[in-house]
Amino acid sequence: MIIAIDGPAASGKGTIARRLAAHLALPHLDTGLIYRATARTVLDNGDRLDDPDRAVAAARGLALTEYDEDRLRGAEMGEAASVVAALPPVREALIDLQKTFAARPGGAVLDGRDIGTVICPEADVKIFVTARPEVRAQRRALELHGRGEKVDYDVVLADIRKRDERDSGRSAAPLRMAPDAVLLDTSDLDVEAAFAAALAIVERAK
Ligand code: C5P
């Protein structure tokens, strides 16, 4: 069973994907990490994030195990990832890796922005997870605070809005709900309730 989970930043899609994968004993790929690692490599090489040739070279050479996941999860790398992710040749270079993961025998859970629309249009279950921007900003601020980063709620909210705009407005694989996806708004749900709602969607599709 292939489960595709998409949605904007801090919607809860990562937590839902992780919990579903653990519950169903399926492998999980957080595809945002791939774009974050690509951006990290570009910056470590001293290159520009909007230089398609350098970004594609970084994407092609990616070995995810080389990265400290925690270091990739900061706010700065989320922003940098959305810059390289807007470059069509970068997305192209990362398709095979994601499709190969999805094709594992037994299935997989993938989360990102274009899983249900581009990477796994044939997924058995598609969930589009969203939440109001203010709620997402609050969650993200809490998470960053927990990571020891300095946070200002207004800045976090502005960043979230900017990232939404860039991810939805780009021409290459923009953030969109697939027509056959189920919408899950987590604005007024805690983690347990959001997970239960997602699991119910999966069970219905079985
Ligand atoms: O989900 P996360 O915040 O880690 O993603 C970082 C950025 O990577 C997103 O803002 C988006 O621009 C990009 N991304 C993407 N397609 C995916 C996953 C992430 O474009 N499937």
> Which CATH number belongs to the domain containing residue 61 in this structure?
3.40.50.300
In this predicted structure, what is the pLDDT of residue 74? 85
Torsion angle defined by CA atoms of residues 147, 150, 154 and 155, in that order, rounded to the nearest 10 degrees: -90
Q: Which structural domain range is residue 162 located in?
A: 2-205
Task: Pick the atom of ligand 1 nearest to 6's CA.
Answer: 21
- Fill in the DSSP letter of residue 187: T
Confidence of residue 146 (pLDDT cuts 50, 70, 90): very high
- The residue with greater pLDDT, 170 or 63, is 170
The CB of 112 under 6 Å from ligand 1? The reply is yes
Alpha-carbon Rg for the chain in angstroms: 16
Q: How far is the CA of 159 from the centre of ligand 1 (A)?
A: 14
Sheet-wide strand order for 2-6 = 28-30, 108-112, 2-6, 125-130, 182-185
CB of 3 closer than 8 Å to CB of 102: no
The predicted-structure confidence for 181-204, as pLDDT tens digits, reads as follows 999 999 999 999 999 999 999 999
The predicted-structure confidence for 103-143, as pLDDT tens digits, reads as follows 999 999 999 999 999 999 999 999 999 999 999 999 999 99
pLDDT above 70: percentage of residues in the chain: 99
In this predicted structure, what is the pLDDT of residue 44? 94
Structure token pair of residue 137? 């900003």
Tell me how crowded residue 134 is: count the other CB atoms within 10 A of its CB: 12
The predicted-structure confidence for 64-78, as pLDDT tens digits, reads as follows 767 788 889 888 899
What value does the mean pLDDT take over residues 86-96? 96
Contacts of 38 (CB under 8 A, 6+ apart): 55, 58, 59, 62, 81, 84, 90, 94
* Sequential DSSP letters for 79-126: HHHHHHTT-HHHHHHHHHHHHHHHTSTT-EEEEESSIIIII-TT-SEE
What is the number of domains present in the chain?
Answer: 1
Residue type (1 letter), 87: L
Q: How far is the CA of 38 from the centre of ligand 1 (A)?
A: 11
Give φ, ψ of 122 to 5 degrees: -95, 10
In this predicted structure, what is the pLDDT of residue 206? 84
The CB of 36 under 6 Å from ligand 1? The reply is yes
What value does the mean pLDDT take over residues 92-110? 96
